[in-house]
Amino acid sequence: MANATNVLASGIEIIGSIKFSNDMIIDGKIEGEISSEGGHVTIGENAQIKGDIIAGEVKLFGNVEGTITSDRCELKKNSKLNGDIKTKNLSMDEGASLSGRTEIGG
């Protein structure tokens, strides 16, 4: 279980901060900060996040209202981000929506 993936399924709602290591898949509703020291987080298609995300890698398929800080950020088709991104590497698929500022590199 050293490299276990944590899953927060659709239908789960959390108000508060989440801290994790390794990988996490979130498809539920969260109000609060999501953070991981170098971990990878995938925000699923059904996810509704209101809060900042800090992780090594972020893959966004759902909706986020907040700031993303990461080494690598991917905005997938039909994802929506209403907030800023600070990342070293950014990829954005056609159909993804970003309403905010970006700071890339460094």
Q: What does the pLDDT look like over 8-64, one tens digit per residue?
A: 999 999 999 999 988 999 999 999 999 998 899 999 999 999 999 999 999 999 999
Does residue 106 have a pLDDT over 80?
A: no
The arithmetic mean of pLDDT across residues 2-11, rounded, is 82
Distance from C-alpha of 4 to C-alpha of 105, rounded to nearest angstrom: 30
Q: What is the pLDDT of residue 1?
A: 47
Q: What residue spans define the domains of the chain?
A: 5-95
Q: What is the pLDDT of residue 2?
A: 55
Closest CA to 75 of 54, 52, 98: 98
Does residue 91 have a pLDDT over 60?
A: yes
